[in-house]
């Protein structure tokens, strides 16, 4: 059928039941688009099978990662395994994985040239920004929670013997399960902070390479900076520091000061990145050059 074959009577009628869409609609659309992305599916599969592969790899070798927290106990207790994975993955990998979506969710529209398409619909810039930002956060949260579940399950599969805590105390299975979950949850705030940072880089640079690669580079840089003898306040201000807050949960006696400071640090980074992203996005000229 051709363009001219029929008239467009249905399209000329008054709009029926149109309710102005809001940020929630944008959020839903972004999640629908996200589900279609191959890289999102790959990350989800890796997050599910990765911990089990890690358990299998640890079982195949007699040596232990003794220089990391809980490393010496990986052949003794299954609870040590998710903590070793957390100590490594949270600081080096998770920010980059979260940035795969957050660092691309705005700049992909620049790359595809689709800002003009979506901004000529019924949603405002504010609604688009909110919906996209929430979708990026949702991916970061979902990734963190998925890793919590799969890492814990992989650990339980390896064994439920009591584990030795960081204060040398023996932690029984039930309490160890709780501490593993709390440790993973305590890494969500910095993960969301890195998500907001990825969004900022994506908005400012309009480039997914910068949005994703920038976060990976900053993650490495922060790890290097952590090795320097910085004043305590400077250490606490780094976005990577809260990833270590769970150490206090496993101490004897337990302490939560670092976790509380970490929340403040993450909130500060998050607010600054979110506000900066919005200010840049709100003033942006879309799609027309002289």
Partner 1 sequence: MVAVTEAGPAETGSAEALSAVAARGVSKWFGPATALDAVDFTVRPGDVHGLLGPNGAGKTTLLALLFGLILPDEGTLRLFGRTRAEAGAGWLDGVGGFVETPRFYPYLSGRRNLAVLAGLDGGDAAGLIDAALDRVGLTGARQQKVRGYSLGMRQRLGLAAAMLRRPRLLILDEPANGMDPAGTRDLRTALRHLARDGVTVVLSSHDMAQVEEICDSVTVLHQGRAMYAGRLDAMRARAPDPVWRLHTSDDGAAAEAARHLPGVKTGARDDGGLVVFAAQDRLDDYVLHLGRGGIAVRGLVLDVTPLEALFFQLTGDTAEQAKEVS
Examine residue 21 and tell whether it contacts partner 1 (CB under 8 A): yes
Distance between CA 279 and CA 123 in Å, rounded? 18
- Is residue 164 a contact partner of residue 68, using CB atoms and an 8 Å limit? no
- The closest alpha carbon to 74, from 186, 45, 87, 184, belongs to 87
Among 66, 116, 234, 275, binds partner 1 (CB under 8 A): 116
Among 20, 57, 229, 233, binds partner 1 (CB under 8 A): 20
- The closest alpha carbon to 70, from 163, 162, 177, 169, belongs to 163
The stretch near partner 1 (CB under 8 A) out of 35-43, 52-60, 82-90, 261-269 is: 35-43
Q: Which is nearer to partner 1, 29 or 156 (CB)?
A: 29
- Is residue 119 a contact partner of residue 125, using CB atoms and an 8 Å limit? yes
- Tokens for 114, please give them: 């689709």
Torsion angle in degrees (nearest 10) through CA of 261, 250, 97, 149: -130
Among 49, 53, 66, 117, binds partner 1 (CB under 8 A): 117
Helix axes 208-227, 188-205, angle to 10 degrees: 130
Residues contacting 15, CB < 8 A, separation 6+: none
The minimum distance between CB 52 and partner 1, in angstroms, equals 29
Cα 273 to chain centroid distance, Å, stands at: 14
Examine residue 283 and tell whether it contacts partner 1 (CB under 8 A): no
Q: Which is nearer to partner 1, 26 or 58 (CB)?
A: 26
Among 68, 72, 124, 177, binds partner 1 (CB under 8 A): 124
Total residues found in the chain within this entry:
290
164: helix, strand or coil: strand
Examine residue 185 and tell whether it contacts partner 1 (CB under 8 A): no
The minimum distance between CB 48 and partner 1, in angstroms, equals 22
Examine residue 16 and tell whether it contacts partner 1 (CB under 8 A): yes
Examine residue 15 and tell whether it contacts partner 1 (CB under 8 A): yes
Among 46, 118, 134, 157, binds partner 1 (CB under 8 A): 118
Among 8, 63, 224, 231, binds partner 1 (CB under 8 A): 8
- Is residue 27 a contact partner of residue 131, using CB atoms and an 8 Å limit? yes
Q: Which is nearer to partner 1, 77 or 208 (CB)?
A: 208
| Binding stretches for partner 1 (CB under 8 A) | 1-21, 25-26, 28-29, 32-33, 36-38, 112-114, 116-124, 285-290
């Amino acid at each position: 059928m051709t363009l001219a074959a029929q008239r467009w009577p249905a399209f000329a009628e008054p709009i029926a039941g149109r309710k102005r869409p809001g940020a929630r609609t944008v959020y839903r659309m972004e999640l629908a688009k996200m589900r279609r992305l191959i890289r999102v599916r790959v990350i989800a599969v890796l997050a599910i099978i990765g911990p089990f592969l890690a358990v299998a790899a640890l079982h195949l070798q007699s040596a232990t990662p003794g220089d990391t927290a809980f490393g010496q106990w990986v052949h003794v207790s299954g609870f040590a395994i998710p903590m070793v994975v957390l100590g490594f993955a949270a600081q080096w990998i998770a920010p980059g994985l979260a940035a795969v979506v957050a660092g691309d969710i705005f700049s992909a529209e620049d790359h595809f040239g689709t800002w003009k398409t979506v901004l000529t619909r019924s949603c405002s810039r504010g609604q688009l920004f909110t919906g996209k930002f929430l979708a990026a956060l949702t991916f970061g949260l979902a990734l963190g929670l998925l890793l919590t579940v799969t890492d814990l399950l992989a650990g339980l599969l390896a064994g439920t013997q009591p584990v030795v805590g960081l204060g040398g105390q023996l932690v029984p299975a039930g309490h160890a399960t709780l501490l593993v979950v709390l440790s993973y949850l305590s890494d969500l705030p910095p993960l969301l902070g890195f998500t907001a940072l990825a969004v900022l880089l994506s908005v400012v640079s309009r480039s997914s390479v910068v949005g994703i690669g920038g976060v990976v580079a900053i993650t490495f840089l922060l790890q290097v900076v952590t090795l320097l003898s910085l004043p305590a306040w400077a250490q606490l201000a780094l976005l990577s520091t809260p990833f270590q807050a769970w150490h206090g949960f496993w101490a004897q006696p337990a302490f939560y000061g670092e976790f509380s400071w970490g929340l403040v640090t993450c909130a500060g980074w998050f607010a600054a990145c979110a506000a900066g992203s919005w200010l840049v996005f709100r003033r942006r000229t879309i799609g027309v050059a002289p």
